[in-house]
Amino acid sequence: MQMYSNYLIAEYPEVDSDYAFINCWKKPLGAPMSKSNVDNLFNRLAKKTGIKAYPHLLRHTHATELIRVLAYLAC
């Protein structure tokens, strides 16, 4: 997720948004993508890369990373 955030910041510095999946191609820039557009994006990426993933997986991955960081800081 951090790589995606870094990509957005580097490629679209004029876009200021807290959404994970944003519109970068038409106005309004930075608006959230619709669920169907996000699903289509993941399907296209799966076909190109052979990696089956889905948006909710990123939420679980982020939560796991956050738990690990908090556990480390608590030590």
User: Comparing 3 with 72, which gets the higher pLDDT?
Assistant: 72
CA distance 21 to 39: 11
Confidence of residue 47 (pLDDT cuts 50, 70, 90): very high
pLDDT tens digits, residue range 53-67?
888 887 777 778 878
pLDDT tens digits, residue range 3-38?
777 877 888 888 888 787 888 878 888 899 999 999
pLDDT for the residue numbered 1? 65
